[in-house]
Amino acid sequence: MTLRLFIPRDAAAVSVGADEVATAIGAAAARQNVAVEIVRTGSRGLLWLEPMIEVATPAGRVAYGPVEPGDAEGLLAAVRGDGAHKLRQGLSQGLTEEIPWLKRQTRLTFARCGIVDPRSAADYRAHGGGKGLERALALGPAAVIEDVLQSGLRGRGGAGFPTGIKWRTVAQTPPQQKYIVCNADEGDSGTFADRMIMEGDPFVLIEGMAIAGIAVGATKGYIYIRSEYPHAVAAMEAAIAAARADGLIGPQVGGSTYAFDLEVRVGAGAYVCGEETSLLDSLEGKRGQVRAKPPLPAHHGLFGRPTVINNVLSFASVPIIVDRGAAFYRDFGMGRSRGTMPIQLAGAAKYGGLYETAFGITLGELVDDVGGGTWTGRPVRAVQVGGPLGAYFPRALFDTPFDYEAFAARDGLIGHGGIVVFDDTVDMAKQARFAMEFCSIESCGKCTPCRIGSPRGVETIDRIIHDENRAANIAVLEDLCNTMKFGSLCALGGFTPYPVMSALTHFPEDFGARPRLQAAE
């Protein structure tokens, strides 16, 4: 009997040896004369267990991890039932679906990630893929937009703008060439959900974009992927070719009269291109500089045409919303944050990975219970939520629920859902300096507060660190942050004050000052 094994081809798994493990298992199988079928999947998102391989059994898939190439011989022997092999006890995690870290999640967007073969449209359909598109074709454009609107889905890229409103605005423009653009320029440190979807379940993104195309009357879509993601680029290109052959996209989408086709475009190492208008300029072949809004991309987007531009996770959430209906999705979450959020635990988190759950879970539950504190064994001192433009939160704010409004109320943002955990060796003044430095490296240069403000910010923080006129320079820094926040054209300059000010407010001792800011409140 052929043994079926699942080994991730996700870049994170590959970075810790998944390819070598796959090769070693193939070789071990040949030596042991065992017939094996190795399916290269995406990652289940339990990244601390990578390389995590799964074995098909009658009871379900059984997980082993972290596996090293040297474990291959023993692991094969163990799964064939050769007694109480040490690997069975040491590496076996039991049935994958029963691993508590996975079982506690609500996987809607990531339902198939790590399970299916990301190169196979047939496998996608065998696991329920394509149903959203079928229902979209049956419902028609207006009802699809209503579903997306009613689901409460908000842009998962970070801004949290209601996706349905973007779609409706584009749908209401007169018929002409319109575009669907996917923002896969996932540049925020601590985030990798877009990458995991593209590498693990690329067809769900393709299906979501095809549904958007039908809904607003667009026939062409672009997926703009950052160049730092070569594995995602390869996965999307392979999946697009497979989707064309399958009929998921092409001249007759799902056998209908709608046409929709997709193309991957690769960025060139500019963080600011994650800002939607910069991304559009970059796609047009220009410098990735921010555009002033209005006009909105929905009216004047790519090449001046009406354009829906959404994040990977927003599009990838659409098929299940259209398939199961708006109410199904809306029932998850809290307040105005509906549905689920794929949260990414990173940095020093002991159990780092992809944790999809309904909005409303607290930051403390995520960091301490799910993340398990740090792998360094030292206490968690700060977490940065929402990427390089997100605020640093101290333990005192760990009761904040994961919700757009709740984070905003505490001068933070959930952004794209990344949480970077820092232990107590972190120097918060250094982190604040880095935020300004990163902004100055990545500024597109179009607006002055960002272009000039960020290098001045670095210099000012340096003076504070070196104890030159500390009180006066802290006042300068606060003033500068205020100017950047309200005077910048986009979130790069506008949000860089979040990490800077949160570090200064919550960790004044690292700036050599008495905690005067907290005292003043």
Partner 1 sequence: MHQDRYNPNQAPWDPQIAQARIREFAHREGALLPMLHALQAEFGYIDQAAEPLIADALNITRAEVHGVVTFYHDFRHQPAGRHVLKLCRAEACQAAGGDPLAQQAEARLGIAMGTTAADGSVTLEPVYCLGLCATAPSAMLDGRVVGRLDEKRLDALLTEAQQ
Binding residues for partner 1 (CB under 8 A): 11-12, 14-16, 47-48, 50, 186-192, 194-195, 227-231, 233-234, 265-271, 282-289, 303, 344-349, 352-353, 384, 388, 418, 420-423, 426, 431, 434, 438, 441-442, 444
Minimum CB distance to partner 1, residue 69 (Å): 15
Minimum CB distance to partner 1, residue 150 (Å): 32
CA distance 151 to 217: 21
Minimum CB distance to partner 1, residue 277 (Å): 14
> What residues pair up with 338 in beta bridges, in sequence order?
333
CA distance 405 to 397: 14
CA distance 453 to 481: 8
CA distance 310 to 185: 11
Strand 340-347 to 337-338 pairing: unpaired
Toward partner 1, which CB reaches closer, 359 or 422? Answer: 422
Minimum CB distance to partner 1, residue 435 (Å): 9
Toward partner 1, which CB reaches closer, 148 or 349? Answer: 349
Minimum CB distance to partner 1, residue 19 (Å): 9
Toward partner 1, which CB reaches closer, 132 or 418? Answer: 418
- Give, as one character, the DSSP assignment of residue 366: I
Residue type, 21: V
Toward partner 1, which CB reaches closer, 29 or 414? Answer: 414
Strand 3-8 to 53-57 pairing: antiparallel
Q: What angle do CA 207, 209, 210 make, to 5 degrees?
A: 65
Q: Is 352 in contact with 47 (CB distance < 8 Å)?
A: yes
Report the run of H or E that residue 428 belongs to, with start and end.
Answer: helix 428-442
Toward partner 1, which CB reaches closer, 222 or 407? Answer: 222
Toward partner 1, which CB reaches closer, 326 or 413? Answer: 413
- Give, as one character, the DSSP assignment of residue 370: I
Toward partner 1, which CB reaches closer, 208 or 387? Answer: 387
Minimum CB distance to partner 1, residue 334 (Å): 26
Minimum CB distance to partner 1, residue 101 (Å): 12
CA distance 312 to 327: 22
Helix ranges (H only) for 273-370 are 276-283, 312-324, 326-330, 363-364
